[in-house]
Every structure is written in C-alpha cells, then in structure tokens.
Amino acid sequence: MIDYTSNSEFVLKDPDKYTDWLIAVIKEEGFELGEISYVFTSDEELLEINKEYLDHDYYTDIITFDYTSAKVLSGDIFISTDRVKDNAGEYNVTFDEELRRVMIHGVLHLMGFNDKSEEEKKKMTFKEDSKLKMFHVEQ
C-alpha cells in the first residue's frame, strides 16, 4: 500500500498514476511493496524532523525512514514541497518533474541505494533517471 498525506496546501494530482509507477519500479528492482507513506510538508516541518531525528540543522528536500524487511519495502518518506519548488527552479525543470525525482529517490533509499559519496551519487542519479522514464506523461 502506498499512502499520500499532505501537511500543507499541496495536493498530489492523480495519485493512482504515481502508485502504479512506483509499484512498477519496485517490481522491476525485484522488491515487493509493503507499506510506504509519503508525507508532503513544508521546509519548516522537515527542518524540525531533520533536527529531532537526524541531528541535522539544515533544510532538505526529503527524509526517508526505512522499515524495509528483506525484499519488502516499507517506510515513511517526508518531502518538503517548498524545497522541491526551489530545486525545480534551480535545475530548470518543472515542479512535477522534480517531485517525481524526489519521490523515486526515497524509494531507492528503501532499496538500499545511498548518496553519501560521489560514486554513490552517480549510481543514485543513474537509477533515478532510469526510473523517471517509466512514468508516462500524457501529451
């Protein structure tokens, strides 16, 4: 099950489409879906989570709490839509494109991918790019 909650004014358009995409990605990587909760929130709320649980005092676009067991993906993924909006402008992509990148980034973390070193970041970005192509946008 994939659940979407918003603690801000943001509303995910067509959540079933996102769910279908995420399930396809999970299956393609050889995992099963457990329970994943996406929580869309503000910069300030995510900053507080970052301070309280990770002892980090800075803004971020995503925090993933991993409850995966073996090959069954489960976790809570908190996303700052404020950060997504700012990053979309910085990277010259649409909000929706950046949101999908951040959403799949969280799932990849649940699969064991990391992004601490430069080599890990390259692998993560490659996987993100590959999985983003699986999301079909109607023209």
Binding residues for Zn(2+): 105, 109, 115
Binding-site positions read 105, 109, 115
Sign of CA dihedral 131, 134, 138, 139: positive
Contacts of 36 (CB under 8 A, 6+ apart): 1, 2, 3, 22, 73, 74, 75, 76, 77, 107, 110
Can you give the C-alpha Rg of the chain in angstroms? 14
